[in-house]
């Protein structure tokens, strides 16, 4: 059984190496861990966001994905810093509003869900005519081959049964 290599990957190794390099081998101060993990985390669920906030979040995620795909280390660090400051700002706003304050008013969550679903469907790369034709041909070809195989198996089984009887 592979022990330590079970979940190993190059990306994980690079991430851990970056953590160690940036920390300079120094452990984090106890007060630096305030607000990290535990019950005091502030996480906005997409259903709790307004339509404008959700669209902004979706655009932000797309921008971050594009930044990470470029591989530009400085741009990635800037994006991480901006994201960290945005998260801190959201935490401050949430603390001002109160812990138990409702995040969304009204019963329009279902409508928001439908809008988010429609927006996600708009992002899907739908197949073009050629791809649909190709997929249809593959399915029909498989059905013909499976039918021939089953027909041949039935014929052979029939002959075997006739010989036995």
The answer, yes or no, to whether residue 1 has pLDDT greater than 50, is: no
Residue 129, phi then psi, degrees to nearest 5:
-60, -40
Report the predicted TM-score, pTM, of the whole model to 2 decimal places: 0.31
**Cβ(109)–Cβ(47) below 8 Å:** yes
Q: Which H/E stretch holds residue 116?
A: helix 109-123
| 73 or 22: which leads in pLDDT | 73
User: Can you give the residue ranges of every domain in the chain?
Assistant: 10-124, 128-165
Q: Which tens digit of pLDDT belongs to each residue from 54-64?
A: 777 778 778 87
Instruction: Report pLDDT for 38.
Output: 46
């Amino acid at each position: 059984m592979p022990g330590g290599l079970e979940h190993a990957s190059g990306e994980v190794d690079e991430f851990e190496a970056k953590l160690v390099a940036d920390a300079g081998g120094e452990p984090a101060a106890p007060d630096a861990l305030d607000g990290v993990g535990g019950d005091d985390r502030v996480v906005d669920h997409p259903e709790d966001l307004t339509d404008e906030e959700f669209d902004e979040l979706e655009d932000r995620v797309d921008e971050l994905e594009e930044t990470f795909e470029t591989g530009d280390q400085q741009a990635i660090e800037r994006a991480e810093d901006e994201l960290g400051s945005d998260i801190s700002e959201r935490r401050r706003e949430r603390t001002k509003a109160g812990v138990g304050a409702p995040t969304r008013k009204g019963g329009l969550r279902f409508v928001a869900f439908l809008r988010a679903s429609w927006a996600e469907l708009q992002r899907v790369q739908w197949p073009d005519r050629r791809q649909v034709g190709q997929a249809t041909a593959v399915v029909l070809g498989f059905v013909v081959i499976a039918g021939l195989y089953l027909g041949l198996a039935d014929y052979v089984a029939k002959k075997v049964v006739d010989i036995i009887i």
